[in-house]
């Protein structure tokens, strides 16, 4: 990591990395099928080799864990394979050697590697987003319900801890009421989500049947 004279991380280096991260996220958000490679090249050229290597290590780690998380948790071997496959795909393998025969990193080759993989990442994310938006509305709503249940559980835990603290401090009896209300709300949402799983299976089968008849 590049450092200032005081030994603290260089703020300008962090700013350049954040700018590059914003470029990637913004390109995905705007669903650009062809990212602005000229702007991307300019951002990469502004970064020092050391900070570019650091950015790439975080970027590849994030992509690799995302690939592993896309596999169900109980399929650990598939998760491990997905993680290794993405790591190997994103890794940079130097081609040039010095006089002693050791491989050395040529900046231009490394920058081109990073650039091509960032463009590939953006295109994959945009394509995945388009495929998701093309799914039936029911399936997308079902996914959002499942996500909402998780958020409600987290919020319920925090609210329960808050009400317990209030009971201890002010000797009130709100904790049990909050817990009971939370159990009812989360329980109803959870059963709705489970019920919609069966409806989703039926919808998917019907769609496949329609496709097969055409």
- pLDDT for 173-190, tens place per residue? 888 888 888 888 888 888
Q: Kindly state whether residues 149 and 128 are assigned to the same domain.
A: no
What distance in Å separates the CA atoms of residue 147 and residue 202, rounded to the nearest whole number? 21
115 Cβ contact partners less than 8 Å away, ≥ 6 residues apart: 37, 40, 41, 44
What is residue 122's three-state secondary structure? helix
Total domains, the chain: 2
Average pLDDT over residues 15-32: 91
Last-in-domain residue among 133, 159, 189:
133
Q: Report, as an integer, the average pLDDT of 154-166.
A: 87
4 lies in a domain? Answer: no
Same domain, 123 and 100: yes
pLDDT higher at 25 or 143: 25
Question: Strand (E) positions, the chain?
Answer: 96-97, 103-104
Q: Are 177 and 167 in contact (CB under 8 A)?
A: no
Give the residue among 97, 141, 92, 90 at the shortest CA–CA distance from 117: 90
Quickly state the pLDDT bin for 2 (edges 50, 70, 90): very low
pLDDT bin (cut points 50, 70, 90) of residue 5 is very low
Per-residue pLDDT tens over the stretch 73-125 = 778 898 899 889 999 999 999 888 888 888 888 999 999 999 999 999 999 99
Domain span at residue 183 reads 137-213
Nearest to 121 by CA among 96, 163, 90: 90
């Amino acid at each position: 990591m590049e450092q200032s004279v005081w030994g603290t991380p260089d703020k300008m280096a962090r700013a350049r990395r954040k700018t590059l991260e914003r470029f990637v996220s913004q390109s995905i958000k705007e669903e650009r099928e062809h990212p602005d490679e000229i702007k991307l090249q300019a951002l990469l050229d502004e970064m020092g080799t050391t900070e570019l290597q650091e950015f790439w290590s975080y970027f590849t780690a994030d992509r690799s864990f995302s690939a592993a998380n896309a596999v169900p948790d109980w399929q650990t071997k598939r998760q491990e394979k997905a993680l290794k496959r993405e790591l190997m795909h994103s890794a940079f393998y130097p081609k040039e050697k010095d006089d002693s025969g050791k491989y050395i990193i040529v900046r231009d080759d490394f920058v081109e590697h990073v650039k091509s993989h960032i463009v590939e990442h953006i295109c994959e994310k945009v394509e995945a987003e388009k495929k998701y938006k093309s799914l039936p509305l029911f399936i997308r709503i079902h996914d959002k319900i499942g996500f909402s249940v998780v958020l409600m559980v987290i919020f319920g835990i925090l609210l329960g801890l808050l009400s317990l603290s209030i009971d201890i401090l002010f000797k009130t009896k709100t904790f049990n009421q909050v817990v009971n209300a939370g159990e009812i709300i989360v329980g109803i949402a959870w059963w709705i989500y489970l019920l919609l799983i069966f409806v989703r299976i039926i919808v998917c089968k019907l769609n496949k049947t329609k496709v097969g008849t055409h």
